[in-house]
Amino acid sequence: MNHLSAFDYAVFLFYFVIVSAYGYWVYRSKKKRTDTKDYFLAEGSLTWWAIGASIIASNISAEHFIGMSGSGFAMGLAIASYEWMAAATLIIVAVFFLPIYIKNRIYTMPQFLSTRYNNTVSTLMAVFWLLVYVFVNLTSIFFLGAIAIETITGVPFNICIIFLAVFSAIITLGGMKVIGYTDVIQVFVLVIGGLITCYMALKLVSEKLDTSSVFAAIPLLKTEASDHFHMIFSKGHKFYNELPGIAVLVGGLWINNLNYWGCNQYIVQRALGADLKTGRSGLIFAAFLKLLIPVIVVIPGIAAYVLYQRGYFQSEMLDSTGTVKPDHAYPVLMNLLPTGIKGLAFAALTAAIVASLAGKCNSIATIFTLDIYKKFIRPAASEAKMVSVGRWSVVISSVIAIIIAPALRSFDQVYQFIQEYVGFISPGVFAIFLLGFFWKKTTSRAALTAALLTIPLSILLKFLPVLTNGAIKAIPFLNRMSWVFIIIIGLMIIVTLTDPKSKNNPQGLEIDRSMFKVTPSFIVASVIICGILAALYTVFW
């Protein structure tokens, strides 16, 4: 029976009251409630642990608990590459990207593009980002979150969406400082609740399959689902198109990750209001937390797969047409948890959803207010007016996302839908930023060329069939991202070299090698992370 007990609701209500009350206290304690830098960035007020926790809380959402767990059910541990490679990516962003943003006092990604190139490039990319944030990211978070809550509680889908919108609005409308500090609670709840859910999933496997202990369930999973414990797929694997072999280590996944973690308002925004040392410490803390995420979400998905193969909860994994839906895996497991633990797991899931919604909404508000409204609609707007506009943009974007969210029911693995369609602009965005950072000659004309061509090229290659082993197949989307990135980089170099403005580009950035020096403690932490990653890929290759 898919309902929470009274005690489960009490556990969840306790979490809800604590987060809301703490958020309100942080909001009331702020000195500048109508200052845009304070509202959008919490300038100078977030500690390294708040930055790291906020990055992870905003990143981890229903797309991970439900979508990635579903992909774990379908394809196994390989989906963890998105998380584990992200840990290495955060090190690169901390060393090479963050110093450039902070030195140039960058507060939004469109602002960087305007400073480095021109307003045309900046505005075009701002529009692209807003469209992706609202129609892909925000929509998928609302959809997956509502599906999960509906499955666990039995509350109708539409009511679940409204609840998520209201809860996230309570956090979002208080600004980045409220989001940052409530995210510390959120990430604590989601990690503890997620680890407990993972433990209980393994315990369920040990009980159903008559093993001696929970720890014996781990090798049993590998025995029962050996095909689910490979990180690198070979050609011919049924999921090769989703994770095309070695590309997860040296190809398109790097483009995807470097764009997401280094050129994405939604993520970078957390560190932009801090000094360099604090920002770097926050990013390295986030990298350590990323190593934990597959344990929290992928292992339960694999456990659900093994139990399903053994004949358990057969009907619960099917949709109304009798088709197996991998994204049902995590909610089904949660429904098997004991009273109280189920309430904590539900609180963890809700924490992830709400934190991600709040972070995404704040980024939408920041870009729209500072890069659209302030520039083109009302340049003379007061600080109070811009904060008000930011809050209204949160409400409007949430309404739009709620309206179109039900359309995602047609997808089996929504996590893969998110990765693929965000990937339509990722190669061009990353190319624009990369050359903008490190090649002074890069001109606005080259950046505009990249901005205009990245989506058409991505669409062309998506529908361009290729002959593989005698069969006509689509290009795997991570490989497609690599090809688009290479083409875009080549075009930008050609356009720049044929542009007279490249000879003495006044908008080129001055790069000082001293900007990239890091502390000994940062080096030690980075080596530990890379060592863990090397061990994981060696064991589970």
Task: List per-residue pLDDT tens for the chain, 541 residues long.
Answer: 456 788 888 888 887 788 777 777 776 765 544 555 555 554 555 788 888 887 887 777 766 777 788 888 888 888 888 899 999 999 999 999 999 888 888 877 888 888 889 888 888 888 888 888 888 878 888 887 887 788 777 788 888 888 888 877 766 665 556 666 666 776 777 778 778 888 888 888 887 777 767 777 778 888 888 888 888 888 777 877 778 878 788 888 899 889 889 888 777 777 777 788 988 999 999 999 899 888 888 888 888 888 888 877 777 776 666 677 787 787 777 777 778 777 877 777 777 777 777 777 878 888 888 888 888 888 887 777 888 888 888 888 888 888 888 777 666 555 566 667 777 888 999 999 999 988 888 999 999 999 899 889 988 888 776 655 556 677 788 888 899 999 999 999 999 999 888 777 777 777 788 888 999 999 999 999 999 999 999 988 8
- Angstrom distances, CA of residue 116 to CA of 97, 112, 447, 488: 14, 6, 10, 18
Q: Which pTM value belongs to this model?
A: 0.80
Calpha distance 211→187 (Å, rounded): 32
Calpha distance 202→200 (Å, rounded): 5
Q: What is the DSSP letter of 78?
A: G
Specify the residue for token string 């959120």.
186
H-type alpha helices, 498-539: 520-539
Calpha distance 415→293 (Å, rounded): 15
Q: What is the DSSP letter of 442?
A: -
What are φ and ψ of residue 21, in 5° steps? -65, -40
Calpha distance 175→180 (Å, rounded): 9
Q: Which of 273, 210, 220, 240 is nearest to 478 (CA)?
A: 240
Instruction: For residue 189, give both structure tokens.
Output: 């709840």
Calpha distance 389→369 (Å, rounded): 6
- Can you spell out the DSSP letters for 284-336? HHHHHHHHHHHHHHHHHHHHHHHHHHTTSSTTTTB-TTS-B-GGGHHHHHHHT
- Decide yes or no: CATH 3.40.50.720 for domain 6-30+46-422+511-515: no
Instruction: For residue 326, give both structure tokens.
Output: 């991998």
